[in-house]
Structure 1
Amino acid sequence: MTYIIQTHNLTKVYNGAEVVSGVNMYIKKGEIYGFLGPNGSGKTTIMKMITNLVKPTGGEIEVLGEKLSPTSFEVLKRIGSTIEYPVFYEKLSARKNLDLHCRYMGFHNKNEIDEALKLVNLINVEKKPVKEFSLGMKQRLAIARAVITKPDLLILDEPLNGLDPQGIREMRNLFLNLSSQYGMSLLISSHILGEIEQIADTIGVIREGKILEETSMDIIRGKYVEHLELQVKDQAKAAFVLENELNIDNFRIKEQDSLIHIYDRNISQNDVIQAMVTNQIEIGSIHKKSKSLEDYFLQLIEGGNKDA
């Protein structure tokens, strides 16, 4: 397995308080990693440590196969990032800002400026001073600046802030394209969980500076599939009917709630109701249910049971 980022017991202390606590993260080459957590949970601090903007109090960071140190200048050239509120030369145009960034990075392919502006759909306002940009336009420009050098690793802190629904959709497609077509690895934090659900290969959930879970979206989708939730008084009898009359073995009994979760997609709600009624089993309720990344995230953050 090739990891583009690995952290080992990464820790950061501010004023005697541990804001990042023994974090171990593993981000694979070419994947999109969704970084989720409440405000103040440590996401931005970790991103700053990975980009050498903040020095860790303890632990190690390995980026692109190299242990990060204060002198890791060459490896940082292979990283594009936008962290917290994007800052620009406000009186200059988008094109001028990108040109200055390229000079600073020692990147001399000026044709990439046009391509980067096109990628984020800023081609018609490239000469307007940035001070006249909306927050959404500044977010687009920040992403253009981050991707212009075609980095191996892209780190984006809340990149969808200020974007309208069309802009969010455009950025979603851009992130997927950067991963699939350019082979970039992306670390993205966002509070828009529905968007992360659509693009992420892996998610990491952090609370109070500690990683609660790091898992693939395929595993989450496998656990949180659509199912029927059946509430009955006589669970044992209902389970017997499911197994012996409807030939279903893919269900789970939750005794404390008088519930049965049925995961067989070939059985309809009407089939279950008819079988219960025929066998004189009283139904309290029956609903079609499905859990999303938001459900999963909230259960983790609130300390609930992921498998509930």
Structure 2
Amino acid sequence: MTYIIRTHNLTKAYKGKEVVSEVNMQVKKGEIYGFLGPNGSGKTTLMKMITNLVTPTGGDIEVLDEKLTPSSFEVLKRIGSIIEYPVFYEKLSARKNLELHCEYMGYYNKGAISEALKLVNLVNIENKTVKEFSLGMKQRLAIARAVITKPDLLILDEPLNGLDPLGIRELRDLFLNLSRQYGMTLLISSHILGEIEQIADTIGVIREGKLLEESSMDLIRSKHVEHVELIVKEQAKAAFVLESELNIANFRIKEHDGLIHIYDSNISQNDIIHAMVINQIEVGSITKKSKSLEDYFLQLIEGGNKNA
């Protein structure tokens, strides 16, 4: 197994208060790693340490098979990133901004600029200065700048900010393409959990500076099976019917509005409704559900208990 990023007990403290605390993260080569956590949880600080913008208080970072030190300049050429709000020369065009970036990076592929702009769907903007761009256009330009040199590792801090649904879908497809076709490794933080769920191979969940969970999406999906959500008027009576007449033991009564979750997949919804009707129990609704990444994430963030 080849890891592009590995941290060991990575810690950062400001004025004696730890904002990142002994984080052990492993990002595999070629994968999309979704980094989740509420505001102030330490995501951006950790990304800044990986890109050498912030010096750790303790622990080690290994990036692209090299232990990161304050003098690790060459390895940074193999990393593209957007961290916090992207900054440009506002009075210059998108192309000129990218030309300056390539010159700074020592990258002189003349066709790379047009290719990067096309990748992020920034076309027919040659005469516009960046100050005329919308927030979403600036976000696209930042991604174009991050990928223009074809880095081995792409670190994106909330890259979907400011985009409309169509823009989000386009960039989701782009991220998948960069990973699957170009073999690029992506570390992406986002609060749009549904999007991360669709593209991530692995997720890491951080809260108050501590990494609560690091798991493959396949494993998460296998652990959180589908269930039937039943809403009835007489919850206790319905529970009795499920157990005594349908022989369902694997269900859970929720403490609001007559909600019952049924985890027995061998019983059809029609059978459940039929049993309720016969026993004169009013059914508000019955729906097949599956636990989403959002459910899983909120469970970890609010309770820190991944087995609940």
TM over 0.5, shorter chain: yes
What residue number does 1:238 align with?
A: 242
What residue number does 2:286 align with?
A: 287
What residue number does 1:297 align with?
A: 297
AA at the equivalent of 1:238 = L
What residue number does 1:223 align with?
A: 223
Distance 1:173 1:234, change over 3 A: closer
The question of whether the paired residues in 2 share the 8 Å contact of 1:32 and 1:179 is answered with yes
What residue number does 1:110 align with?
A: 110
The question of whether the paired residues in 1 share the 8 Å contact of 2:12 and 2:19 is answered with yes
What residue number does 2:17 align with?
A: 17
Q: Distance in 2 between matches of 1:234 and 1:135?
A: 52
Deviations 1:140-167 (A, max 9, x none): 0000000011111100001011111111
Distance 1:152 1:107, change over 3 A: same
Distance 1:255 1:130, change over 3 A: closer
Matches within 5 A, 1:84-103: 84-103=84-103
Instruction: Report the CA distance between 1:31 and its aligned residue.
Output: 0.8
| Aligned-CA RMSD value | 2.4
Distance 1:208 1:22, change over 3 A: same
* Matched pairs, number: 301
Distance 1:305 1:20, change over 3 A: closer
Percent pairwise identity: 77
- Secondary structure at the aligned position of 2:126 is classed as coil
The question of whether the paired residues in 2 share the 8 Å contact of 1:232 and 1:281 is answered with no
- Secondary structure at the aligned position of 1:221 is classed as helix
What residue number does 2:55 align with?
A: 55
Matches within 5 A, 1:57-206: 57-206=57-206
Q: Distance in 1 between matches of 2:284 and 2:213?
A: 33
Superposition TM-score, scaled by structure 1 size: 0.89
AA at the equivalent of 2:242 = A
Gap regions ≥5 residues in structure 1:
none
Q: Distance in 2 between matches of 1:256 and 1:294?
A: 19
The worse-fitting range, judged by mean Cα deviation, of 217-226 and 169-178 is: 217-226
- Secondary structure at the aligned position of 1:80 is classed as strand
The question of whether the paired residues in 2 share the 8 Å contact of 1:93 and 1:128 is answered with yes
Aligned pair 1:26/2:23, yes or no?
A: no
- Secondary structure at the aligned position of 1:7 is classed as strand
Instruction: Report the CA distance between 1:217 and its aligned residue.
Output: 1.3
Instruction: Report the CA distance between 1:131 and its aligned residue.
Output: 1.3
Distance 1:256 1:137, change over 3 A: closer
Distance 1:285 1:219, change over 3 A: farther
The question of whether the paired residues in 2 share the 8 Å contact of 1:94 and 1:130 is answered with yes
Q: Distance in 1 between matches of 2:305 and 2:54?
A: 34
AA at the equivalent of 1:5 = I
Instruction: Report the CA distance between 1:90 and its aligned residue.
Output: 1.1
AA at the equivalent of 1:117 = L
Q: Distance in 1 between matches of 2:111 and 2:254?
A: 64
The question of whether the paired residues in 2 share the 8 Å contact of 1:99 and 1:110 is answered with no
Distance 1:272 1:305, change over 3 A: farther
What residue number does 1:4 align with?
A: 4
The question of whether the paired residues in 1 share the 8 Å contact of 2:158 and 2:191 is answered with yes
Instruction: Report the CA distance between 1:262 and its aligned residue.
Output: 3.4
Gap regions ≥5 residues in structure 2:
none
- Secondary structure at the aligned position of 1:206 is classed as strand
Distance 1:304 1:21, change over 3 A: closer
Q: Distance in 2 between matches of 1:242 and 1:61?
A: 55
